[in-house]
Structure 1
Amino acid sequence: MAKVVVVTGASAGVGRATVEEFARHGYDIALLARDPDRLARVGAELQSRYGIRALSIPTDVADAEAVEAAATSAEAELGPIDVWVNVAMATVFAPVSQLSAQEFERGTRVTYLGQVHGTMAALSRMRVRNRGTIVNVGSALAYRSVPLQSIYCGAKSAIRGFTDALRSEIIHDKLKIQLTTVDLPAVNTPQFDWAMNKMGVKAKPVAPIFEPEVPARAIFFAATHKRREVWVGFPTVKAILANRFAPGLIDRYLASAGYKGQLTDIPLAADPPANLYEPVPGNYGAHGRFDDESKVGSWEMFTDRHRSAFWALAALGVIGGIHWLAKKHNV
């Protein structure tokens, strides 16, 4: 009998690439996202291409009751959940001074509490069977925040704290449940076209950029191997280490480079799409508009499997990079 995975944010971006990866390995999949039409198209494509069962469940992960109901439907239709992957996110590109409390609340409910809701729904079922795997998708920005993304950075930092606390509880209770975090670099997804944006020009990921299939492979690896966490790509490693060695220097560097590194020169439309409160309709897929600039591979498996041996080399590289930044920006 095929294993069952639930993936949130499954209709586009990293979530869309992730369901493709699990389907390719024969998993039956419950797909959770807000847009019912796009979700249905993804489910139909997966069933046709891979011959797996795909259950589309329109769900706003900010709603705990809706997530719980989705978990119940998934098990009723597909069987016991073996893996739960929390991918869904929402953000706003803007400085804190231009954000409202309502925008902070909504972004946090989707990106942080959405993962809490998914984890709780999965955990309550996995505890009974004393087996299963939960994958929370984090970010390098959980370790090193950047300007213009305070909502997202705060939520990803909260995910890290929540996951670490829960992991200790699982160990205390001697449960055979695997809890892992996959921290992502910049990824070429549609979020840079549909996230709420108050900057007047289109946003872009900070180079180097990776195609969504790279984190999708890392997520599948994390779900099928016993790893505490997986850092995807060397840029993630550099960001985490740099912040440990010289956070004040990185603060000043990002103050001068963090804005232009995330913004293009392309003006926004008069009424640009924004998916914070409602999904943006359209036939969006896993990829955004940065295919020409994106990498199709990374060292994410290497850095996880051989992290102890890699630390010394990575630290040397980061120290060299910090020295270069200090000279370049006179800080």
Structure 2
Amino acid sequence: MNTSKPEVVVITGASAGIGRATVRAFAKRGAYIGLVARSRDGLEAARQEVEAAGAKALVLPTDVSDPEQVEAAAAAVEKEFGPIDIWVNDAMASILSPFTEIKPEEFRRVTEVTYLGYVYGTMAALRRMKPRDRGTIVQVGSALAYRSIPLQSAYCGAKSAIRGFTDSIRCELHHDRSNVHITMVQMPAVNTPQFDWIENNMPHKPQPVPPIFQPEVAAEAIVWAATHKRRELYVGSSTVEAILGTKVAPGILDRYLGKTGYKSQQTEQPENKNRLSNLWEPLPGDRGAHGRFDDQAQDYSAQLWATENQDWLILGLGAGVVLVAVGAYLNHQAQQERYVAQKDEDDRISESDIRAEVARQLHQSTNRSSKLDKWNLLTGLTRFAWKALTTESKNNQKATQS
């Protein structure tokens, strides 16, 4: 990445939601940002936020399902700001509906925006990055790329496809020994305006499946992924649980989600059947980054923090293990020294000890003059003398060795 000048960043889906929060995050870094989306109202509002942060932005109304429009946007960014350093694919469309109630053209439209939009964005980025042998592409993914849920067959299919083609491209970049980096950030449920603009065939209003995170958490992860060489990044413990769960017990999750997935994606409020969606055309007005779930959304992810700081955590864990090992060793040494000292004390027989023992034995013998007592006196003194001699011998050997 070129660090001698501000980063040049392209963000698709920049007008609202995660894309809008990501625009703000890069603007704080002073980046020059190409704003790509269909909604001119949202893009103009995003541009004002970028400029208020002291950075620069270029508004590029674009339908990412059209490869020619995507290519034109990339060319305009490089003409205005110079070589693109980071390309973030985030544009999406969706429909909440049982698969059997989705029209073919609706399914195709979701696929063209959410999947092929990433394909065309990646193509435009690689055309420029590969010859320069530098740059980063960030694919904004989802836990649904691994663990599909009911009512979102088109969206889940697109996210899974993004993961598949991204893995393939990564292999090709390794084959070419390219320094271009491509990464994917798998998101949890996020509080964005999409739940008020997606196509909905269900009787109640859509909602993200809890736990819900604020879009700033997602934006932080995207910026971090764009500036670190990580193959893939999971955001939120719920994402980790979903991905691991489907690897361990996919059948159980199929049945569980079949039972709970319909209700968990809808509020209790009835849907307005006359509500417009943005599936075919952008909705007027600026939608911003947040949806209507601020009271439920978390603005921090401990799992993301641990991921971002895992090198320090591993270092700290290693240091802790070393400290425990050193402490155990020192404690063992201290115990050994105490044992040796006590043993030496027990074995040490001084001249005064010998005199005292002889005096005690003689005193007892004067009070009892039988042959048995005299024999006991003799054997007792003999044992004591032998102990004294062996102890002295050991002490002499230690002195010689030292």
Q: Please give the TM-score of this superposition, normalised by the length of structure 2.
A: 0.75
Q: Where does residue 328 of structure 1 map in the other structure?
A: none
C-alpha distance in 2, partners of 1:303/1:75? Answer: 33
Deviations along 1:134-170, one digit per CA (max 9) or x if unpaired, are 0001100010000000011000000000000000000
Q: 2:194 aligns with which of 191, 196, 201?
A: 191
Asked whether 1:36 is paired with 2:52, we answer no
Q: Where does residue 319 of structure 1 map in the other structure?
A: none
C-alpha distance in 1, partners of 2:219/2:42? Answer: 19
* Equivalenced residues, count: 308
The residue correspondences of 1:97-176 to structure 2 (distance < 5 A) are 97-176=100-179
C-alpha distance in 1, partners of 2:183/2:274? Answer: 39
C-alpha distance in 2, partners of 1:85/1:8? Answer: 6
Q: Where does residue 247 of structure 1 map in the other structure?
A: 250
Query: Does the Cα contact within 8 Å between 1:218 and 1:301 map onto a contact in 2?
Result: no
Q: Shift of the alpha carbon at 1:300?
A: 1.5
Q: Where does residue 212 of structure 2 map in the other structure?
A: 209
C-alpha distance in 2, partners of 1:302/1:61? Answer: 34
Q: Shift of the alpha carbon at 1:13?
A: 0.1
Deviations along 1:27-75, one digit per CA (max 9) or x if unpaired, are 110000001122112112211x211110010000000010000000000
4+ aligned runs moved over 6 Å, structure 1: none
Q: Shift of the alpha carbon at 1:305?
A: 5.3
Q: Where does residue 327 of structure 1 map in the other structure?
A: none
C-alpha distance in 2, partners of 1:270/1:188? Answer: 22
Q: Where does residue 30 of structure 2 map in the other structure?
A: 26
Identify unmatched segments of 5+ residues in structure 1.
311-331
Asked whether 1:13 is paired with 2:10, we answer no
Query: Does the Cα contact within 8 Å between 1:33 and 1:58 map onto a contact in 2?
Result: yes
> In proportion to residue count, which structure has more helix?
2
Q: 1:269 aligns with which of 258, 272, 277?
A: 272
Query: Does the Cα contact within 8 Å between 2:24 and 2:49 map onto a contact in 1?
Result: no
Query: Does the Cα contact within 8 Å between 1:88 and 1:111 map onto a contact in 2?
Result: yes
Identify unmatched segments of 5+ residues in structure 2.
315-402
Query: Does the Cα contact within 8 Å between 1:230 and 1:304 map onto a contact in 2?
Result: no
Q: Shift of the alpha carbon at 1:270?
A: 3.3
One-letter code of the match for 1:286? A
C-alpha distance in 1, partners of 2:100/2:136? Answer: 39
C-alpha distance in 2, partners of 1:89/1:139? Answer: 12
Q: Please give the TM-score of this superposition, normalised by the length of structure 1.
A: 0.91
Query: Does the Cα contact within 8 Å between 1:130 and 1:175 map onto a contact in 2?
Result: yes
C-alpha distance in 2, partners of 1:89/1:22? Answer: 20
Query: What SS does the aligned partner of 2:295 have?
Result: helix
The residue correspondences of 1:35-54 to structure 2 (distance < 5 A) are 35-47=39-51, 49-54=52-57
Larger Rg: 2
